[in-house]
Amino acid sequence: MHDNFLTLAPTQLLEILTFSHEATVIFISSELHIGFINTSMLNIWGKKNDIVSHRLIDVAPEFENFIPILQEVWSTGKPFKAKDTPANTMDGGVLVQKYFNFEYRPIIDKEGKTYAIINTATDVSDRRQALLDKELSERHLNDELLAINEEQEAAIEELRATNEELFETRSNLNKANTQLLESEIRVREILEQAPLGMCMLVGPEHIIEIANESILKIWGRSKNEVIGKAHHQARPELIGQPVYKWLDEVYTTGRARKNHEFKVMLYNHGSLREAYVNSIYQPIRNAEGGVNGVLVIIEEVTDDVKKRMEAQRTQDMLNLAIEAGGFGTFYYNAVHNRFTGNDILKSWFGLEDGNEISLNLATDVICDADREKVINAINTALTYGSGGDYDIEYSICAPGTESLRMVRAKGKAIFDSDKKPISLNGTLQDITELKQDEQRKNDFIGMVSHELKTPLTSLKAYLQLLQIKAVKDPFTVVALGKANTQVKKMTAMIDGFLNLSRLESGKIYLDLERFDMMELIEEVVNEFSVTSASNQILFNRVNPISVHADRSKIGQVATNLISNAIKYSGDGENIEISCLVKENSVVVSIKDYGIGIKPEDLERLFERFYRVDTSDMKTISGFGIGLYLSAEIIQRHNGKIWVESIYGEGSTFYFSLSI
């Protein structure tokens, strides 16, 4: 090697080095004078050949960093190698960083001293760049891959989540579906069992999808006849009625419709029947809000409407009758103390239209003489247990009117479950005219009776004269006796009528005196004993009982009751009379064992002209005024008169007067 080296001339060697591709520079002093530099190295450094024999620091100060290393190599004699080392080199007048692999190899002489350093260098910038680019692109790729990976992972995660969600959604959907199905079944069941008629019509043809039993009953149709059919086909009976039109309207406008007590002709076993219904036509909307059907709900109210119409008709007729009869009607709300009535009543009471007044204001209109009596009667009717009946005659003197109006009020009180009065309603009849007629009649009866009495008195006197003169002829005596009895009866009758007319016109006056009741009863009994031999009258006169009363009128009452007892008893039946004191009153009783009185007649016996209407009565004469007069007389004495009787067994009449 050494030998080979020596065969080459130094110039030759330098030439080779000059053209060598390996960039080379040789430093020949410790101060790093450049001894040689080839073209390749000059190219790297960006310098010209004139730098030879100059110090490195002077011609290439940009390499100052490397100088200490070179000096170290020079002084130590140890080579230095480095790879991919950055160095700033001149390129076109500017400094550019490039990368190099380089070596500093010291050349050592025999004494071991350094006399040159060969510095070779390879520009690895491009390779490095390529490497870097590769690395970069690799890193990019890696990053991208990583990103893709991450994305993928995320996507997978999402997918998993989505899957889970999907699963959940599906199970929810399943649940919802089941619920939907259940709720649909439930809705159908509800519809089916609803007491109201219900049907569901679908589409513009109103196809009947559901129709429950109640609606089928109202329609008069069976399920088979209607389900799945268009409404107008299933129910042709509605032609000419407004239902089809209404259904179309609800379907097209989406507006619900309500009908109240609408009259409709419904199918009924082959014919039509009149019915009244309340109905609702409700549009059914889909999710988008469009109408796709109509729900129909029907309640049949035929019975109610007909009953109400009937009640209304009855009420109208009643009102008509009340109006035609000139009756006033009154309504008294006892809870709120409000009194009102129909127009007639309002006019009589001087009430404005729609006026309701309290009861005391209403009673103000009643004449002073009658007011207390009316208030008492109202209070009695409003007392539970009284039967609630109200029946009274009185006069009213409405404000602004001069004339008196006599009325008869008849009403009935109603009570709640707590026995408290709720109302007292009834009618009012104007009896002014009637009373005047009665007055005229009474006057007439009075006058006739009075006129009849005069001839009868003379007839009686003549009969008595004849009786005295005819003592020798027994037949004439008996006949005159009988004639006398008849005249007495007639006198009694005429007296009765006279008393009646006096009583009714209020002209009956009590002539009060103190007398012994025992004595009076005995007198009356004695009179009867003479005239009626067919019945025995039993009376025990004991201690006197003094009373203050009209002796003659009480005598009339006793006569009346005893004569009835005889009249309504068979021959031979006893009449028992008693007179005794009971709790500050004298009670007189007349007991017979005659035909008796039925319970339904007992109450009405003391009414004017009342006579029991039975076959036994046909043969017994009378006018039905005796008991009426007796009762009036006793009542005017503030006494009491009553009767106890068992039909077919006999009766006991009582009257009592306070002592």
Encoded tokens for 598: 């039925």
Residue among 247 and 605 whose Cβ is closer to ligand ADP: 605
Nearer to ligand ADP, 149 or 536 (CB): 536
Position among 211, 351, 595, 634 found at the interface with ligand ADP (CB under 6 A): 595
Give the list of residues 6+ apart from residue 249 with CB closer than 8 angstroms, or none: 255, 257
Token pair in block for residue 271: 């014919």
**Which residue number, 272 or 620, has a Cβ lying nearer to ligand ADP?**
620
Tokens of 534: 């067919």
Amino acid at 584: N
522-539 burial, b at 16+ Cβ within 10 Å, e below that, comes to bebbeebeeebeebebeb
- Asked whether the beta carbons of 51 and 66 are under 8 A apart, the reply is no
Q: 267 near 244, Cβ under 8 Å? A: no
Segment contacting ligand ADP (CB under 6 A): 6-14, 265-273, 467-475, 609-617? 609-617
Q: How far is the CB of 563 from ligand ADP (least distance, A)?
A: 8
Residue nearest to ligand ADP (CB): 622
Given the complex with ligand ADP, which of 327 and 568 has the nearer CB atom? 568
Rounded least distance, CB 600 to ligand ADP, Å: 12
Site for ligand ADP in 527-586 (CB under 6 A): 564-565, 568
Which residue, 347, 336, 332, 429, is CA-closest to 381?
Answer: 332
Q: Is 309 helix (H, G, I), strand (E, B) or coil?
A: helix
Provide the 10 A C-beta neighbour count for residue 656.
Answer: 20
Residue with smaller CB distance to ligand ADP, 106 or 626: 626
Amino acid sitting at position 218: I
Q: How far apart are CA 199 and CA 267, in angstroms?
A: 17
Closest CA to 611 of 579, 659, 568: 568
Query: Token digits for 330?
Result: 């009154």
Q: Which CB atom, from 610 or from 642, has the smaller least distance to ligand ADP?
A: 610
Task: Return the number of the residue (406 or 579) whose C-beta is nearest ligand ADP.
Answer: 579
Provide the token pair at 252: 């097209």
Ramachandran quadrant class, 363 (left: phi over 0; alpha: psi -120 to 50; beta: rest): alpha
Specify the residue, 204 or 622, whose C-beta has the smaller distance to ligand ADP.
622
Closest distance of CB 440 from ligand ADP, Å: 23
Tokens of 118: 């060969």
Interacting residue with ligand ADP among 382, 588, 605, 657 (CB under 6 A): 605
119 versus 563: smaller Cβ distance to ligand ADP: 563
For residues 55 to 94, the per-residue mask of contacts with ligand ADP, x marking binding by CB under 6 A and - elsewhere, is ----------------------------------------
Binding residues for ligand ADP, how many (CB under 6 A)? 20
Site for ligand ADP in 611-630 (CB under 6 A): 611-612, 617, 622-628
Smallest gap from Cβ 489 to ligand ADP, in A, equals 11
Burial class (CB in 10 A: 0-12, 13-18, 19+), 555: middle
Pattern 461-480, ligand ADP, x by CB under 6 A: --------------------
CB of 353 to ligand ADP, least distance (A): 47
Tokens of 490: 């007639």
Beta strands in 92-191 (DSSP E): 94-108, 114-123
Residue type at position 492:
A
Cβ proximity to ligand ADP, 547 vs 595, nearer residue: 595
Q: List, in sequence order, every residue forming a beta bridge with 585; answer none if it has no partner.
A: 582, 658
Q: Closest separation between CB of residue 506 and ligand ADP, Å?
A: 21
Least Å from the CB of residue 619 to ligand ADP:
12
Considering the complex, what minimum distance in angstroms separates the CB of residue 622 from ligand ADP? 2
Distances from the Cα of 157 to the Cαs of 131, 144, 151, 161, 201, in angstroms?
37, 19, 9, 6, 49
- Within 181-240, the residues that bind ligand ADP by CB under 6 A are none
Residue whose C-alpha is closest to residue 594's, from 518, 645, 549: 645
Q: Cβ 565 to ligand ADP, closest distance in Å? A: 5
- Shortest reach from residue 595's CB to ligand ADP, in Å: 5
118: how many CB neighbours lie within 10 A of its CB?
A: 17
| Minimum gap (Å) between residue 633 Cβ and ligand ADP | 13
Cβ proximity to ligand ADP, 204 vs 596, nearer residue: 596
Q: What does the CA dihedral 585, 591, 597, 603 come to, rounded to 10 degrees? A: -10
Residue among 125 and 630 whose Cβ is closer to ligand ADP: 630
Instruction: Output the smallest distance, CB 535 to ligand ADP, in A.
Output: 12
Shortest approach of ligand ADP to residue 570 CB, angstroms? 11
**Residue closer to ligand ADP (CB basis): 349 or 606:** 606
Query: What is the distance between the alpha carbons of residues 34 and 27, in angstroms, rounded to a whole number?
Result: 5
d(CA 421, CA 11): 156
Using CB under 6 A as the criterion, which residues of the chain lie in contact with ligand ADP when the complex forms?
564-565, 568, 592, 594-595, 597, 605, 610-612, 617, 622-628, 651
